[in-house]
């Protein structure tokens, strides 16, 4: 039987056809291998961004803690950008009242009051603070001690080296005043001739501009507002450095507290843990260096 021309096989093969077919087969194999290698990763669950619900944390702070809470807020909002930290600055007595009346989620206090409230606050020390004694440069002494301070703030020493002394105190309800009076004056009261100022910043400003003035201020506020125009006195021979305060050798030192009505929950708990952790403590250490 004769074969149709369409069914006839070519009588010869092109010289390059064999290698070409081999190259095509190798290419197909490479493509298939890549496909199977990539398949597991393509089928794996892909990460997705979680959008957090905005949260507002309400703080109230004693004015001693104002420089600290400013820096803690900045650091915390950077670490948890969905959180907005709002805060109000009051003296310690008013700050505790605000907390108890539900106007804040958490307080930063410079003194835990002994009050008539039935329930004590939950509290945790978050840092140590010193009370620095400051004088106007024209005040004629360069160091002091607890007995010397008692005599000045009770009004029993009113002049030194020909200069009239002006004792500068804080207002009632101030945690800084409570600690200073407890350590220095004990059962005695501050002299009625003392000048009373409503904040640490006001004490620094008054002392800086009043020859003969002597006052006291938190070292946290001293770090914030600076020592321009005032001298910081050693007390019992010791300056209120961070090492002296934390080591217990500086006599006018006290703890600062985180406080809530009950053990904190939610964002208040997250904030407290962050402040007590390495990130918060690093900020506090830097903020306390004056």
Instruction: Supply the DSSP string of 115-128, one letter for each residue.
Output: -S-SSPPEEEEEEE
Half-sphere exposure of 91 (CA within 13 A, CB side): 16
* Integer angstrom CA distances of residue 228 from 94, 112, 204, 233, 290: 30, 31, 9, 14, 12
pLDDT of residue 29: 56
pLDDT of residue 25: 61
Neighbours of 64 (CB within 10 A): 31
Domain with CATH 3.40.190.10 in the chain: 56-128+254-287, 129-252
Q: Which CATH superfamily is domain 129-252 in?
A: Periplasmic binding protein-like II (3.40.190.10)
Predicted confidence (pLDDT) per residue in 152-184, tens digit = 999 999 999 999 999 999 999 999 999 999 999
Q: How many residues does the chain have?
A: 290
Supply the angle between the helices 66-79 and 278-287 in degrees, to the nearest 10. 140
Mean pLDDT of 73-77: 97
The domain made up of 56-128+254-287 is a member of CATH 3.30.460.10: no
Output the pTM of the full model: 0.79
Predicted confidence (pLDDT) per residue in 96-142, tens digit = 999 999 999 999 999 998 766 778 999 999 999 999 999 999 998 99
d(CA 13, CA 201): 100
């Amino acid at each position: 039987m004769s074969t149709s021309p369409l069914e006839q096989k070519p009588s010869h093969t092109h010289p390059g056809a064999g290698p070409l077919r081999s190259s095509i087969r190798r290419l197909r194999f490479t493509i298939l291998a890549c496909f199977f290698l990539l398949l597991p990763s393509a089928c794996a669950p892909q990460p997705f961004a979680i959008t957090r619900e905005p949260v507002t944390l309400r703080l109230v702070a004693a004015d001693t803690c104002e420089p600290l809470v400013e820096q803690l807020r900045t650091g915390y909002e950077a670490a948890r950008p969905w959180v907005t930290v709002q805060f109000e600055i009051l003296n310690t007595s008013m700050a505790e009242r605000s907390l108890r009346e539900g106007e804040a989620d958490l307080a930063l206090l410079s003194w835990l009051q002994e009050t008539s409230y039935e329930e004590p606050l939950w509290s945790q020390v978050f840092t140590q603070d010193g009370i620095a004694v400051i004088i106007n440069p024209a005040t004629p002494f360069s160091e002091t001690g607890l007995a010397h301070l008692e005599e000045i703030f009770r009004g029993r020493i009113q002049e030194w080296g020909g200069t009239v002394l002006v004792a500068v105190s804080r207002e009632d309800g101030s945690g800084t005043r409570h600690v200073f009076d407890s350590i220095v004056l004990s059962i005695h009261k501050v002299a009625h001739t003392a000048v009373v100022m409503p904040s640490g910043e006001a004490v620094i400003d008054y002392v800086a501009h009043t020859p003969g003035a002597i006052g006291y201020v938190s070292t946290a506020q001293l770090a914030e507002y600076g020592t321009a125009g005032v001298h910081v006195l050693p007390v019992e021979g010791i300056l209120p450095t961070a090492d002296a305060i934390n080591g217990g050798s500086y006599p006018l030192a006290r703890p600062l507290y985180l406080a809530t009505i009950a053990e904190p929950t939610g964002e208040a708990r997250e904030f407290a843990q962050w402040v007590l952790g390495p990130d918060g403590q690093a900020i506090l250490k830097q903020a306390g260096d004056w």
